[in-house]
Structure 1
Amino acid sequence: MIEPITFTVPLSFEAHEIAQQCSKQSSQTKFKQVYLNTLAVYAVDSYLRCMGFETDWLLSDSRNPLMLKLMDVADLDVKQVGKIECRPVLPDADACQIPYDAWGDRIGYVAVQLDQSLKQATLLGFTRTVAKEVPLAEMNSLEDLLVYMNRIQQLKPVNLMNWFDEVFDAGWQVIDELLNPKQLQFRSFRSNNTVPIDRGQKIDLGMQLAEHSVALLVTIPPEPDSELDIVVEVYPMGNQTYLPPGLKLTLTDESEEVIFKAESRDADNFITFTFTLDLRELFSITVALGEVNVKQSFRL
């Protein structure tokens, strides 16, 4: 048996002063929740800064008095990575509790065990599982957390959860700006009665495509859920009716394993596939023609 790697942070006077400030406007029943949450965030913030990550705790919901009053949150914003939820765990607990308030817009959850005297906090591990309760024995190691966060930094993925708040990365346009009226009419005919969220991006593969510019379209449901059905499509742009033959559309997971692949044939108006992913998953879409390809990463 190999002991899991943990990290212990002393809870200094500064930590307790911040916790006191965050919880002073709380009701009696809310005081303990906010205080312990704040200590947990302090510990994770200290750890990640030791590991070389830039954090922005002041801009996190866990430092917003209104959000603390209304919700049970212990989030920490990590620059170029996303939000980590830092959940306090009492000494005799065997599971990490994750409230519904913290189910959205998180790349993962870190279990932070506070000792009885609140003098130190130990980071036990992390999980990307969205559940009311996650057994501590099923947590991934802190080493896995660092690998995962470094990978997110390197890939700089598009955060699809932001789309539910109508926040879109540069270069992602409304579909009307990319497709011609006939294509738009065809997409409308294929859709059901729901109004999904969709955006598109022009893909330039250089000389390999000559005059055949293409648009990569991504569609998600109108409301977030624990699982999301995602539709990916590629259409020719401008006056082109067909995609160039041999254009490949590939979906890979965070381990670079190919999940789906589609390839255009002669006289294909578009290529597409639909897949379902859990929250917290990282994936990539590649559009390729010959030896030239463009890759875009996403996360939920």
Structure 2
Amino acid sequence: MMSKMIEPITFTVPLSFEAHEIAQQCGKQSSPKKFKQVYLNTLAVYAVDFYLRCMGFETDWPVSDSRNPLMLKLMDVADLDIKQIGKIECCPVLPDADACQISYDAWGDRIGYIAVQLDQSLKQATLLGFTRTVAKQVPLDEMNSLEDLLIYMNRIKQLKPINLMNWFDDVFDAGWQVIDELLNPKQFEFRSFRSNNALPIDRGHKIDLGMQLAEHSVALIVSLPPEPELEVNIEIAVHPMGNQTYLPPGLKLMLINESEELLYQVESRKADNVIKFEFTPDLRELFSINIVLGDANVRQSFRL
């Protein structure tokens, strides 16, 4: 009984003309057996790419081995590169199969494996679940849900440190937006790091704490001085988003060092419209920012 696979959500992707055109292109100049392998693999990657982009992740299929003609000729791969996270393997599953087959060529350099069931007509693909188990085959009823996959990928993304020195070269990580895109003027005012009337370098990231926030959304704002200095003073702030004027009471903003020690913490009160602090890390120092509300905890790591 596939209780693990049926009760959690699945996701079905229509396999459009574009999907088949890409599969045809990837499989050309191959033997009939190899053509079928590449064709089905490509449809599976197409479906996973569509799903992850719908879920807000940035993918880079063109740089993946599954779009490299030489790698496709030599190996059985269906990988998809996900920015800031890594590679995931997209394993095609035929309609009557009860297990996900994992190519030996994909046993390394993968954060996991997604089972993608293709229907008989190849008109649609259904993402069934994922596994981190490296094996020749994994029974479908032992796969983890897509919900677990999203939690897992977000955890990987949060643990990868953002290099703030890149911000001085106008190189920003995916998901970090200019302030005007996140907040209205009443929710944010520039007040720090003015030097010769120069504005700070700042970006914001929407933070989702799930049901703990009810109708509230918050933005994590990181501000740097206009130019790199011997000592870089950083301001960390959390603001309400949307139509909200105040932060939910009890929201904690924490500064954690590389040894997992709590260096600083500020907590919102009943009518706070911002919580923030400033600090000066050492060059190349790794630190993390935790935003906590009740049992929900979001972490983002940084490095100068």
TM-score, length-normalised on structure 2?
0.53
**Does structure 1 residue 287 correspond to structure 2 residue 259?**
yes
Equivalences for residues 65-80 of structure 1 within 5 A? 65-80=69-84
- Consecutive unaligned residues in structure 1, runs of 5 or more: 159-168, 172-284
Task: Work out the CA distance in 2 between the residues paired with 1:290 and 1:12.
Answer: 51
Match of 2:138, SS state, is strand
Q: Which residue does the alignment assign to 1:61? A: 65
Task: After TM superposition, give the deviation of residue 170 of structure 1 in Å.
Answer: 12
- Consecutive unaligned residues in structure 2, runs of 5 or more: 166-256, 265-284, 289-300
Task: Work out the CA distance in 1 between the residues paired with 2:21 and 2:132.
Answer: 30
Task: Work out the CA distance in 1 between the residues paired with 2:11 and 2:157.
Answer: 22
Task: Work out the CA distance in 2 between the residues paired with 1:104 and 1:288.
Answer: 30
**Does structure 1 residue 127 correspond to structure 2 residue 131?**
yes
Task: Work out the CA distance in 2 between the residues paired with 1:290 and 1:149.
Answer: 25
Residue of 87, 106, 110 corresponding to 1:106: 110
Match of 1:117, SS state, is coil
**Does structure 1 residue 47 correspond to structure 2 residue 58?**
no
Task: Work out the CA distance in 1 between the residues paired with 2:258 and 2:74.
Answer: 41
The CA RMSD over aligned residues, in Å, is: 2.6
Task: Work out the CA distance in 2 between the residues paired with 1:38 and 1:290.
Answer: 46
Tell me: CA distance 1:170–1:91, structure 2 relative to 1, closer, same or farther (3 Å): same
Amino acid at match of 2:25: Q
Contact 1:20 1:35 in 2 (8 A): yes
Runs (4+) of structure 1 exceeding 3 A deviation are 288-297
Match of 1:104, SS state, is coil
Equivalences for residues 201-280 of structure 1 within 5 A? none
Amino acid at match of 1:154: Q
Tell me: CA distance 1:170–1:134, structure 2 relative to 1, closer, same or farther (3 Å): farther
> Number of residues paired by the alignment?
174
Identical positions, percent: 82
Match of 2:41, SS state, is helix
Residue of 88, 95, 99 corresponding to 1:95: 99
Tell me: CA distance 1:290–1:65, structure 2 relative to 1, closer, same or farther (3 Å): closer
Contact 2:8 2:147 in 1 (8 A): no
Tell me: CA distance 1:24–1:155, structure 2 relative to 1, closer, same or farther (3 Å): same
Amino acid at match of 1:287: S
Contact 1:287 1:294 in 2 (8 A): no
Amino acid at match of 2:106: A
